[in-house]
């Protein structure tokens, strides 16, 4: 078998055989296939797509490229959650403790920021002392004693994805349904939870920009889950605008704490309760409306926040910062983003906001860039709100004057204010199960 022939076959839009897909994954993971051949094949897949059979084989081969985790020693139905990536998406920090507080164990392996999107591990590492890289025993022990744990992905879990993702990131081959579906589902299957909830982001700040392509991605992943005997639900949520009021690592931890303390942004709370309720539903805790009630109650009675604090403490983090936000290291420079006119805020472009946040220092411009945990954006105003000239829309934070000014300009270029109020896309747009699609728009 030759890589050249596989590339040519996919270039001509033909279906690859199982052994050809296996050859690609095995040879690329072991370093025997060079980046230029893997890139060419990825681009051919991006352009010509993959059949259901090919996507399922690709997922299987990626899963088999490394170790898997057996969670069967942990009692209860374990539920995992994964977001396809967004701006201001701190839902894992809120949803996991809520679900754990309702008695359902959550074993979560999360990633770091990627491109303009943030990552849960970077957010958690903004908490002084927090250890995100746990050995298997400690990960299990934390789930057993606290009810949930969040750890970074070990290098031995789906090593094929580690290599392929880094290559896709720099070859414009991220936005492909079979590639995203196999990347996410191979990791979810490797971690071994019983059920999976997927949060598929749609809109300008998401990898899937259109509603239809988001539905197709959701269906593809739900099918993969089903064929691997994992009950899987996908919800489609809006990522035209950043989620919540804060974007940036410690700023998002603060916002997550506020939600768990029963305060903060209503849209963010609504999405989190919906995601948590679907996880509880998957774990067999009752009807979706009953599960929503349980999730809301764990915010009202403080048990969700208590769980977050317990997990942070167990993983070495300073829990004082969760109570007294002033103890987080502060940004050296800040600028206000001021409205230059009266009118309605009709656009806060999520992708622009994500790029601005990276420029401010909250994300990585290069693979090895150091993160500034205090950098980011805090919005005072929301989409659809009326503002007057000179009103403060947001504040931007950075460690350096140049970055602060540049980030502010990028953020401003994604904000539209006009006299006429335009409709805002709904927050929760669809729910996809193996029984069908419920659309809410």
Minimum CB separation of residue 425 from ligand URA in Å reads 21
Q: Which is nearer to ligand URA, 59 or 339 (CB)?
A: 59
Catalytic entry in 152, 183, 186, 374: 183
Strand order across the 415-418 sheet: 386-387, 343-348, 415-418
Nearer to ligand URA, 155 or 266 (CB): 155
Question: Which residues, including other chains, have CB under 8 Å from residue 345's CB and lie 6 or more apart?
Answer: 381, 382, 383, 384, 385, 386, 387, 393, 415, 416, 417
CB of 56 to ligand URA, least distance (A): 16
Q: What SS3 class is residue 9?
A: helix
- The answer to whether residue 276 forms part of the interface with ligand URA (CB under 6 A) is no
- 183 is known as an active-site residue: yes
User: Closest Cα partner for 112 from 373, 291, 297, 411?
Assistant: 373
Residue from 311, 304, 307 nearest 263 by CA? 304
Residues 66-95 close enough to bind ligand URA by CB under 6 A: 84-85
- How far apart are alpha carbons 8 and 142 in whole angstroms? 48
Written as one string, the DSSP assignment of 401-430 is: HHHHHHHHHHHHHTEEEESSPPP---SEEE
Return the number of other C-beta atoms located less than 10 Å from residue 150's C-beta: 26
Return the closest-CA partner of residue 383 out of 253, 260, 205: 205
Which of 60, 162, 168, 188 is flagged as catalytic?
168
What residues numbered 172-191 form the site for ligand URA, per CB under 6 A?
174, 179-180, 183-184
> Hey, which residues does 75 pair with through a beta bridge?
none
User: Which residue, 120 or 149, has its beta carbon nearer to ligand URA?
Assistant: 120
Kindly identify the residues of this chain, within the stretch 388-417, that bind ligand URA according to CB under 6 A. none
Is-catalytic flag, 116? no
Distance (Å, whole) CA 62 – CA 25: 7
Told to judge if 82 belongs to the known catalytic residues of this protein, a careful annotator would answer yes
Instruction: For the segment 188-247, give every residue that binds ligand URA (CB under 6 A).
Output: 207
Minimum distance from residue 212 beta carbon to ligand URA (Å)? 18
CB 109 within 8 A of CB 71: no
Q: Interior CA angle at 38 toward 37 and 43, to 5°?
A: 100
Q: Which is nearer to ligand URA, 84 or 238 (CB)?
A: 84
For ligand URA, the closer of residues 84 and 298 by Cβ is 84
Nearer CB in complex with ligand URA: 216/318: 216
Active site residues: 82, 161, 168, 183, 187
Q: Which residues bind ligand URA (CB under 6 A)?
A: 84-85, 174, 179-180, 183-184, 207
């Amino acid at each position: 078998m030759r890589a050249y022939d596989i590339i040519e076959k996919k270039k001509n839009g033909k279906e690859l055989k199982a052994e050809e897909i296996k050859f690609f994954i095995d040879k690329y993971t072991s370093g025997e296939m060079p980046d230029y051949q893997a890139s060419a094949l990825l681009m051919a897949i991006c352009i010509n797509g993959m059949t259901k059979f090919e996507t399922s084989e690709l997922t299987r081969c990626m899963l088999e490229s490394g170790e898997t985790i057996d969670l069967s020693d942990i009692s209860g139905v374990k539920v995992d959650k994964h977001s396809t990536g967004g701006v201001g998406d701190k839902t894992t920090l809120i949803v996991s403790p809520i679900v754990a507080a309702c008695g359902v164990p959550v074993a979560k392996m999360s990633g770091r920021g990627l491109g303009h999107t943030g990552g849960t591990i970077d957010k958690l590492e903004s908490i002084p002392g927090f250890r995100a890289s746990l050995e298997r025993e400690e990960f299990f022990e934390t789930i057993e004693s606290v009810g949930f744990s969040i750890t970074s992905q070990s290098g031995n879990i789906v090593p094929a994805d580690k290599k392929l993702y880094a290559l896709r990131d720099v070859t414009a081959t991220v936005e492909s349904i079979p590639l995203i579906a196999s990347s996410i589902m191979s990791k979810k299957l490797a971690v071994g939870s019983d059920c999976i909830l997927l949060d598929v982001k749609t809109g300008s700040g998401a990898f899937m920009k259109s509603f239809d392509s988001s539905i197709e991605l959701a269906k593809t992943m739900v099918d993969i889950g089903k064929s691997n005997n994992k009950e899987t639900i996908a919800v489609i949520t809006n990522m035209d605008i950043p989620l919540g009021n804060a974007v940036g690592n410690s700023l998002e931890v603060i916002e997550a704490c506020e939600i768990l303390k029963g305060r903060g942004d209503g849209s963010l709370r609504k999405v989190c309760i919906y995601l948590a309720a679907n996880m509880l539903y998957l774990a067999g805790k009752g009807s979706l409306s009953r599960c929503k009630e349980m999730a809301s109650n764990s915010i009202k009675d403080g048990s969700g926040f208590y769980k977050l604090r317990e997990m942070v403490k167990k993983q070495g983090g300073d829990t004082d910062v969760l109570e007294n936000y002033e103890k987080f290291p502060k940004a050296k420079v800040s600028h206000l983003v001021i409205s230059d006119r009266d009118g309605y805020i009709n656009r806060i472009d999520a992708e622009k906001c994500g790029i601005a946040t990276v420029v401010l220092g909250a994300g990585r411009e290069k693979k090895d860039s150091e993160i500034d945990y205090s950098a980011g954006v805090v919005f005072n105003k929301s989409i659809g709100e009326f503002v007057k000239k000179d009103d403060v829309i947001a504040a931007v934070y950075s460690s350096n004057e140049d970055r602060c000014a540049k980030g502010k300009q990028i953020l401003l270029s994604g904000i539209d204010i006009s006299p006429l109020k335009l409709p805002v896309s709904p927050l929760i747009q669809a729910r996809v199960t193996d029984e069908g699609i419920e659309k809410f728009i």
